[in-house]
């Protein structure tokens, strides 16, 4: 359960679904970004004020808004309006494509389209033609003062990014996501500290190799300065915390075969994972942990087992505080998505990754050592709210040594 999206750092938007024939019928979400990010060539964000009007984002900074009260819209520039009109005509140039929706943002756009019948050439050709038309519009308006456009250079970065909507219910969710983009964009700009990746968050933890009895936490050792990558509200570590730990025996999601091999979690039309089995022990533990969170504690979870992921999902849905641990780190331009975005905006979420583990693009397999380290760090971060942990054959000294390497980059016994 990452809840994090990592964008390209070099401006190239070239993520593709391996093995997919981009000439065939499907519904796609397309993203195009400006060659020069940060310049509002396509539009400006405006925020609703109490009197019912709209004010520029810059004026809203001093208005005392809170993240949860922000309502925003994108007011297109003349260039943005012309590009939006051009998008609506894409079917005139490629009859197999039906445009469904386009959401402008200040320096990029997201668009939904349907390929209604097989095409002679891949989708990239049609997107390339659309971009060429946009470049002509851009050059024609390059001196328009209201656009603030540069007199030279290209509008778009190379390539594009796409998502293919395979599941039932994804289209409605994607419509909601795109329509909500101006609000999320405004919140990120008004409250950047809630969404900025911290590369060197230091946390003092009681984490030192020693023999312990029956899984009890170390309490007598000096605290070690541990380094994490962090995204979200780091002040959650200052309040009460309780560890989430669920055995795989007590809870399982439904799974089905994936095309090309492997299994995937079965979800309903809204993307909610479907439950295959939940033991009475899980139900009791879930109720207890959520009750503690309702009382103000932050849940601390590595979200490894299905049960741990389910409790984290329920906590976010209920507006509770959550600290998660990941084995893959965050890119410098990582950003929270979905419910994680709103939880970050409300100060209810902190996502951590061990500081000595570099960011890994794409999926990173979870090794046994990764799982041991994440469980041990969750235990240490929870402090008095830690759960007793059975490390399945690994000695406590070995687990703590691995954990120290993950958060300090090295471990040398004293």
Give 79-116 pLDDT, tens digit per residue: 999 999 999 999 999 999 999 999 999 999 999 999 99
**Is there a domain that residue 313 lies in?**
yes
146 pLDDT more than 80: no
Predicted local confidence at residue 170, as pLDDT: 80
Count of the separate structural domains present in the chain: 2
The CATH number that applies at residue 287 is 3.40.50
Predicted local confidence at residue 9, as pLDDT: 41
Predicted local confidence at residue 223, as pLDDT: 66
Predicted local confidence at residue 224, as pLDDT: 75
**Same domain as 314, residue 185:** no
**Same domain as 199, residue 53:** no
220 pLDDT more than 60: no
For residue 143, name the pLDDT band (cuts at 50, 70, 90). Answer: low
For residue 412, name the pLDDT band (cuts at 50, 70, 90). Answer: very low
**Is there a domain that residue 78 lies in?**
yes
**Same domain as 357, residue 294:** yes
**Is there a domain that residue 256 lies in?**
no
**Is there a domain that residue 265 lies in?**
no
**Is there a domain that residue 413 lies in?**
no
Predicted local confidence at residue 230, as pLDDT: 93
Q: Tens digit of pLDDT for each residue in 294-344?
A: 988 999 999 999 999 999 999 999 999 999 999 988 888 888 888 888 898
The CATH number that applies at residue 113 is 3.30.70.1290
**Same domain as 217, residue 120:** no
Higher pLDDT, 374 or 224: 374
CB 250 within 8 A of CB 278: yes
Predicted local confidence at residue 144, as pLDDT: 52
Predicted local confidence at residue 281, as pLDDT: 96
**Same domain as 356, residue 216:** yes
Q: How much is the pTM?
A: 0.66
**Single residue among 190, 207, 240 that ends a domain in this structure:** 190
Q: In whole angstroms, what is the distance from residue 108 CA to residue 30 CA? A: 11
Rounded to 10°, the helix 181-190/338-345 angle is 40
Q: Which domain holds residue 15?
A: 4-190
Predicted local confidence at residue 74, as pLDDT: 97
**Same domain as 345, residue 214:** yes
Rounded to the nearest integer, the mean pLDDT of the chain is 85
**Single residue among 190, 209, 237 that ends a domain in this structure:** 190
218 pLDDT more than 70: no
**Single residue among 143, 169, 190 that ends a domain in this structure:** 190
- Element spanning 111, H or E: strand 108-115
179 pLDDT more than 50: yes
**Same domain as 146, residue 201:** no
**Is there a domain that residue 35 lies in?**
yes
Cross-strand bridge partners of residue 162: 30
Share of residues in the chain with pLDDT > 70 (%)? 88
**Same domain as 152, residue 122:** yes
For residue 206, name the pLDDT band (cuts at 50, 70, 90). Answer: confident
Predicted local confidence at residue 212, as pLDDT: 43
Rounded to an integer, the average pLDDT of 237-258 is 93
215 pLDDT more than 70: no
Q: In whole angstroms, what is the distance from residue 411 CA to residue 405 CA? A: 5
Higher pLDDT, 337 or 291: 291
CB 370 within 8 A of CB 327: yes
**Same domain as 178, residue 91:** yes
Predicted local confidence at residue 211, as pLDDT: 39
**Same domain as 180, residue 197:** no
Predicted local confidence at residue 16, as pLDDT: 64
46 pLDDT more than 50: yes
CB 167 within 8 A of CB 29: no
**Is there a domain that residue 371 lies in?**
yes
The residue assigned the tokens 């070995």 is: 398
**Same domain as 207, residue 116:** no
State the first-to-last Cα distance of the chain, in angstroms, to the nearest integer.
Answer: 37
**Is there a domain that residue 260 lies in?**
no
Predicted local confidence at residue 283, as pLDDT: 96
**Same domain as 242, residue 118:** no
Predicted local confidence at residue 97, as pLDDT: 96
Largest separation between any pair of C-alpha atoms in the chain: 75
275 pLDDT more than 50: yes
Joined tokens for residue 142:
């390059």
The residue assigned the tokens 């020693």 is: 210
Predicted local confidence at residue 328, as pLDDT: 85
Rounded to an integer, the average pLDDT of 206-233 is 63
């Amino acid at each position: 359960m990452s809840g994090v999206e990592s964008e390209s750092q070099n401006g190239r938007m070239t993520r593709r679904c391996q093995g997919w024939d981009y000439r065939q019928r499907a519904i796609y979400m397309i993203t195009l970004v400006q060659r020069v990010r940060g310049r509002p060539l396509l539009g400006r964000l405006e925020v609703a004020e109490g009197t019912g009007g709209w004010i520029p984002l810059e004026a809203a900074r001093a208005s005392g808004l809170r993240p949860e009260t922000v309502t925003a819209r994108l007011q297109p520039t003349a260039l943005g309006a012309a590009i939006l009109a051009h998008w609506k005509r894409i079917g005139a140039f490629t009859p197999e494509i039906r445009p469904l929706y386009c959401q402008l943002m200040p320096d990029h756009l997201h668009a939904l389209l349907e390929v209604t019948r097989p095409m002679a050439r891949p989708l990239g050709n049609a997107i390339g033609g659309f971009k060429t038309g946009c470049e002509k519009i851009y050059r024609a308006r390059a001196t328009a003062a209201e656009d603030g456009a540069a007199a030279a250079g290209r509008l778009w970065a190379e390539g594009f990014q796409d998502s293919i909507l395979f599941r039932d219910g994804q289209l409605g969710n994607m419509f909601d996501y795109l329509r909500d983009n101006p609000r999320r964009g405004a919140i990120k700009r008004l409250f950047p500290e809630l969404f900025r990746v911290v590369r060197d968050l230091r946390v003092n933890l009681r984490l030192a190799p020693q023999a312990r009895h029956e899984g009890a936490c170390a309490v007598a050792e000096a605290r070690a300065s541990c380094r994490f990558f962090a995204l979200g509200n780091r002040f959650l570590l200052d309040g009460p915390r309780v560890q989430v730990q669920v055995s795989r025996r007590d809870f399982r999601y439904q799974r089905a075969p994936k095309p090309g091999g492997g299994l995937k979690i079965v979800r309903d039309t809204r993307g909610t994972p479907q439950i295959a089995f939940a033991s009475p022990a899980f139900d009791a533990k879930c109720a207890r942990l959520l009750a503690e969170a309702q009382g103000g504690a932050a849940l601390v979870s590595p979200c490894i087992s299905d049960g741990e992921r389910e409790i984290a999902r329920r906590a976010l849905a209920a507006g509770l505080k959550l600290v998660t641990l990941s084995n893959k780190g965050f890119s410098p331009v990582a950003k929270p998505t979905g419910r994680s975005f709103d939880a970050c905006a409300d100060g209810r979420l902190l996502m951590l990754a061990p500081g000595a583990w570099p960011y890994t693009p794409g999926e990173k397999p979870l090794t046994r050592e990764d799982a041991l380290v994440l469980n041990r760090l969750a235990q240490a971060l929870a402090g008095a709210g830690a759960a007793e942990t059975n490390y399945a054959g690994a000695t406590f000294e070995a687990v703590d040594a691995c954990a120290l390497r993950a958060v300090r980059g090295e471990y040398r016994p004293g």
